Structure 1
Amino acid sequence: MTPIQTSSIEKIARIQWLELQKQLLYLQKNSKFYKQLFKVHAIDVSEIKTEADLKRIPVTTKEDLQQFNEDFLCVPSEDVIDYVTTSGTLGNPVNFLLNEADLERLAINEMQSFKIAGILKGDKVQITTTLDRRFIAGMAYFLGLRKLGAGIIRTGSGLPHLQWDSIERFKPNYLVAVPSFLLKMIEYAVSNGIDYKKSSIKAAICIGEPLRDQNFELNALGRKITELWDIELFSTYASTEMATAFTECEHHTGNHIQPELVYTEVLDEAGNPVKIGEIGELVVTTLQVQTMPLLRFATGDMVSYINEICKCGRNTMRLSPVLGRKKQHIKYKGTSLYPQHIIDVIVEFNTISNFVVIVQKDETEMDLLLVKISNSLSELEQEQLNQHFQTRLHVIPKIEMVSDTEINSLKNPTGSRKPVLFLDLRG
């Protein structure tokens, strides 16, 4: 682990603040967007010396990125090497550009991320996510593993036959995978007589879907995977905009921050820091980024945090799993919910294999919660499902049984790089 990760909280804070001040000066000099922001709000970045001062700077929103995308560019266009886009989960994808220094930073970020999860030079890692389609993550994994010196098998997304053929050929001990795809790999192995429990795989670095709850226990999806396949699951959290990964260590008590690469805040509705353990919106400032750095970027993700030494020896802040997106908050029959609450309950109810969760407005402009499932449930099973929702969430959504074809068309909208389990149709 790097020296900063085991430093005192006070020393980590000092190093972060120095990096933040460097980034402020860089933005003042090079960013058209932030120059204008500082001018409008009469901000002299040299006077930003405390967290209280930092609060004078308004947060940057996803809408800002969409509307003024080119104004965030801080280097000459001829210096740009890689062009990627965000996933567009909550709107149109946003362009993101990287120069040589940013690609090197991305490699360092992922190398350190894999080290946090325990991967070493000499390990072999199979990447089951796409390296194309303007997707930053697959490329980041490749660059990080290459810098680490680990062996890399680039199978890409889908194709369970190719995944198992590669495991048999090259004997990787780690997978990088979306958790729900691990279930598809297990299903394929069972259907094709593959003794997956005796494979070389010992752990999976999981992306894109939460594996744990707010108490860091495996959620329904995580439990379902490990009950079928005795491998260790590591959660990660990242986004294109942050260009930084937050990763679990072997103790699985939160995703470690890399403090020299990102400055983090967790804020309440009024923009004030929440206390340890309380839920707020994650706001990040990317450090050491040259091409499109972001200052106080509101991610929209709701998390809590821990700021105490971990059993692994790292003294870095740790983030909880993402509870949901700020904009995805649901108020249903007086109960506050996030999509993951509903998804966990459905996954726990083992008989449902294919589903999508939809929220929309009813005729009185109240949130209406609908779950479409492909199973044809008996009256008894429907009653059991309703009781399960009532016990776990204290409310029962409307359940609608439809075809697999309809669900798959909803889950895989045109242009999406990953299945969508939650659709917000509230306008």
Structure 2
Amino acid sequence: MTSLQTESKERIARIQWLELQKQLLYVQKNSKFYKQLFKVHGIDVSEIKTEADLKRIPVTTKEDLQGYNEDFICVPREDIIDHVTTSGTLGNPVNFLLNEADLERLAINEMQSFKMAGILKGDKVQITTTLDRRFIAGMAYFLGLRKLGAGIIRTGSGLPHLQWDSIERFKPNYLVAVPSFLLKMIEYAESNAIDYKNSSVKAAICIGEPLRDQNYDLNALGRKITELWGIELFSTYASTEMATAFTECEHHTGNHIQPELVYTEVLDEAGNAVKMGEIGELVVTTLKVQTMPLVRFATGDLVSYTNESCKCGRNTMRLSPVLGRKKQHVKYKGTSLYPQHIIDVLVEFNSISNFVVVVQKDENELDLLTIKISNSLIEVEQEELKQHFQTRLHVIPEIEMISDSEINNLKNPKGSRKPVLFLDLRR
């Protein structure tokens, strides 16, 4: 446990603010993008003394990062040693670059995240995510575990046979995995008479998909995994742009921030801070980043937060699971929905193993919600699904039966590094 996270809330806030001021001075001196932004808005960062002052700086969007990518670079080109990409809103991936100091920061971030989940030197961790394809996360996990001194098994993504062979061969006690892939591992184990319930694995650090609801209870996906395979599940939340992870401790009541590495705000539509427990957009300022630091970067992710002290002894802000993307809010038949609401209902319905959720505009420019599911669902089950939606969400979306191959084509668009369960065709 880092000492800062167990300090008083006042000291945490003071240290975090000092790091924020250092980063603002750094970008004002070195970032072409922020130099121009501050000039246009008449901002001298040395005069930013309070949170109210900070709000004078406009948020940075993903469109900014894509449109002015080169202008965010703050170090000489020859110092850049790692080149990755993140998904873009304008069609093409966005370049994101790191120097040696950024990789060291990334390693520290992940080391502290793994410690938060209880991983110690001497533990063995199997990484079931890719380290290639310009993907920052796999590299981050490797660097963090290496810094921690834990054993590492790099199996990469997919290949259930290799995963189980590695578990049998090396006896890892932790996995790093996308939750839905854990279900595929269970399915493979059951089909091949593998005694997975008595394997060496005791917990999984889960990435890419929410495991819990706003009350921190396991959602449908999390419950399904733990009912089948009694391992402990730890949620994490991260993004390439933040180069920072928010991770659960053993009490599973929100993802702790690392205050020396990121400054967080949760804002409403008007750009004002929401109250504790209310839903807003996460906006972050990365701290101690040298190559491509971001100031008030709007993540697009909708979360709530708590500032209450955690039972683990940490006094840091904790974030809820991501409810959805700001632009993915659906207003269907007068009811406000977010992707995770819909996905949870489908995961709960055991007869469905393959689906994709599609939202588009109808002829009246209203949101039209369609669930595309495998045509193996019989008529009685279709009616049960509609009733399930009515009970859980108070609305019934359109149900369309298509083949598994059509669903898989929709779920795996070209260039995507993970399955897409929610397709927004309104734009």
TM-score normalised by structure 1 residue count: 0.99
Map 1:151-162; keep pairs closer than 5 Å.
151-162=151-162
- Aligned-partner residue type, residue 353 of structure 1: S
- Aligned-partner residue type, residue 101 of structure 1: A
- Other-structure match for 2:213: 213
CA deviation vs aligned residue, 1:254-292 (integer Å, no higher than 9, x gap): 000000000000001111100000000000000000000
The Cα shift of 1:87 comes to 3.3
Looking at structure 2, the residues matched to 46 and 91 of structure 1 have their Cα atoms a distance apart, in angstroms, of: 37
Q: In 2, are the aligned partners of 1:107 and 1:147 still within 8 Å (CA)?
A: yes
- Other-structure match for 1:253: 253
Distance 1:318 1:116, change over 3 A: same
Looking at structure 1, the residues matched to 256 and 167 of structure 2 have their Cα atoms a distance apart, in angstroms, of: 29
- Aligned-partner residue type, residue 293 of structure 2: P
- Other-structure match for 1:386: 386
Looking at structure 1, the residues matched to 248 and 264 of structure 2 have their Cα atoms a distance apart, in angstroms, of: 17
The Cα shift of 1:364 comes to 0.6
CA deviation vs aligned residue, 1:350-380 (integer Å, no higher than 9, x gap): 1100000000010111000001001422222
- Aligned-partner residue type, residue 184 of structure 1: K
- Other-structure match for 2:38: 38
Q: Bigger CA drift: 91-100 or 371-380?
A: 371-380
Q: Which runs of 5+ in 1 are unaligned?
A: none
The answer to whether the aligner puts 1:228 opposite 2:228 as a matched pair is yes
The Cα shift of 1:381 comes to 1.2
Looking at structure 1, the residues matched to 89 and 179 of structure 2 have their Cα atoms a distance apart, in angstroms, of: 18
- Other-structure match for 1:123: 123
- Aligned-partner residue type, residue 322 of structure 1: V
Map 1:7-46; keep pairs closer than 5 Å.
7-46=7-46
Describe the SS at the equivalent of 1:81: strand
- Aligned-partner residue type, residue 148 of structure 1: L
The answer to whether the aligner puts 1:80 opposite 2:53 as a matched pair is no
Runs of 4+ in 1 over 2 A off after TM superposition: 87-92, 375-379
Looking at structure 2, the residues matched to 41 and 396 of structure 1 have their Cα atoms a distance apart, in angstroms, of: 47
Looking at structure 1, the residues matched to 80 and 362 of structure 2 have their Cα atoms a distance apart, in angstroms, of: 47
Looking at structure 1, the residues matched to 31 and 420 of structure 2 have their Cα atoms a distance apart, in angstroms, of: 34
Looking at structure 1, the residues matched to 377 and 405 of structure 2 have their Cα atoms a distance apart, in angstroms, of: 17
- Aligned-partner residue type, residue 179 of structure 2: P
- Other-structure match for 1:328: 328
Describe the SS at the equivalent of 1:277: coil
Looking at structure 1, the residues matched to 376 and 401 of structure 2 have their Cα atoms a distance apart, in angstroms, of: 6
Looking at structure 2, the residues matched to 104 and 372 of structure 1 have their Cα atoms a distance apart, in angstroms, of: 44
Percentage identity across aligned positions? 89
Q: In 2, are the aligned partners of 1:87 and 1:417 still within 8 Å (CA)?
A: no
- Aligned-partner residue type, residue 93 of structure 1: P
- Other-structure match for 1:143: 143
Looking at structure 2, the residues matched to 330 and 70 of structure 1 have their Cα atoms a distance apart, in angstroms, of: 34
Looking at structure 1, the residues matched to 413 and 265 of structure 2 have their Cα atoms a distance apart, in angstroms, of: 33
Looking at structure 2, the residues matched to 91 and 228 of structure 1 have their Cα atoms a distance apart, in angstroms, of: 39
- Other-structure match for 1:67: 67
Q: In 1, are the aligned partners of 2:63 and 2:90 still within 8 Å (CA)?
A: no
- Other-structure match for 1:275: 275
Looking at structure 2, the residues matched to 89 and 412 of structure 1 have their Cα atoms a distance apart, in angstroms, of: 17
Looking at structure 2, the residues matched to 107 and 82 of structure 1 have their Cα atoms a distance apart, in angstroms, of: 13
- Other-structure match for 2:342: 342
CA deviation vs aligned residue, 1:389-412 (integer Å, no higher than 9, x gap): 011111111001110000000011
Describe the SS at the equivalent of 1:132: coil
Looking at structure 2, the residues matched to 18 and 177 of structure 1 have their Cα atoms a distance apart, in angstroms, of: 35
Map 1:399-414; keep pairs closer than 5 Å.
399-414=399-414
The Cα shift of 1:308 comes to 1.3
When the two chains are superposed, the root-mean-square deviation of aligned CA atoms in Å is 0.8
Looking at structure 2, the residues matched to 66 and 325 of structure 1 have their Cα atoms a distance apart, in angstroms, of: 18
Describe the SS at the equivalent of 2:371: strand
Looking at structure 2, the residues matched to 3 and 425 of structure 1 have their Cα atoms a distance apart, in angstroms, of: 46
Describe the SS at the equivalent of 2:143: helix
Q: In 2, are the aligned partners of 1:354 and 1:375 still within 8 Å (CA)?
A: no
- Aligned-partner residue type, residue 264 of structure 1: T
- Aligned-partner residue type, residue 242 of structure 1: M
Q: Bigger CA drift: 138-147 or 3-12?
A: 3-12
CA deviation vs aligned residue, 1:116-163 (integer Å, no higher than 9, x gap): 000000000000000000000000000000000000000000000000
Q: In 2, are the aligned partners of 1:282 and 1:299 still within 8 Å (CA)?
A: yes
- Aligned-partner residue type, residue 265 of structure 1: E
Distance 1:89 1:217, change over 3 A: farther
Describe the SS at the equivalent of 2:391: helix
Q: In 1, are the aligned partners of 2:124 and 2:171 still within 8 Å (CA)?
A: yes
Describe the SS at the equivalent of 1:387: helix
Looking at structure 1, the residues matched to 188 and 15 of structure 2 have their Cα atoms a distance apart, in angstroms, of: 48
Looking at structure 2, the residues matched to 376 and 329 of structure 1 have their Cα atoms a distance apart, in angstroms, of: 30
The Cα shift of 1:90 comes to 7.8
Q: In 2, are the aligned partners of 1:220 and 1:348 still within 8 Å (CA)?
A: yes
Q: In 1, are the aligned partners of 2:202 and 2:232 still within 8 Å (CA)?
A: yes
Looking at structure 2, the residues matched to 196 and 378 of structure 1 have their Cα atoms a distance apart, in angstroms, of: 31
Looking at structure 1, the residues matched to 100 and 362 of structure 2 have their Cα atoms a distance apart, in angstroms, of: 50
Q: In 2, are the aligned partners of 1:248 and 1:256 still within 8 Å (CA)?
A: yes
Q: In 1, are the aligned partners of 2:62 and 2:88 still within 8 Å (CA)?
A: no
Looking at structure 1, the residues matched to 126 and 392 of structure 2 have their Cα atoms a distance apart, in angstroms, of: 36
Looking at structure 1, the residues matched to 13 and 295 of structure 2 have their Cα atoms a distance apart, in angstroms, of: 17
The Cα shift of 1:91 comes to 4.5
The Cα shift of 1:86 comes to 0.6
- Other-structure match for 2:4: 4
Q: In 2, are the aligned partners of 1:356 and 1:373 still within 8 Å (CA)?
A: yes
Q: In 1, are the aligned partners of 2:63 and 2:89 still within 8 Å (CA)?
A: no
- Other-structure match for 1:181: 181
Describe the SS at the equivalent of 1:264: strand
Looking at structure 2, the residues matched to 249 and 416 of structure 1 have their Cα atoms a distance apart, in angstroms, of: 30
Describe the SS at the equivalent of 2:314: coil
The Cα shift of 1:88 comes to 4.0
TM-score normalised by structure 2 residue count: 0.99
Looking at structure 1, the residues matched to 315 and 251 of structure 2 have their Cα atoms a distance apart, in angstroms, of: 13
Q: In 2, are the aligned partners of 1:345 and 1:392 still within 8 Å (CA)?
A: yes
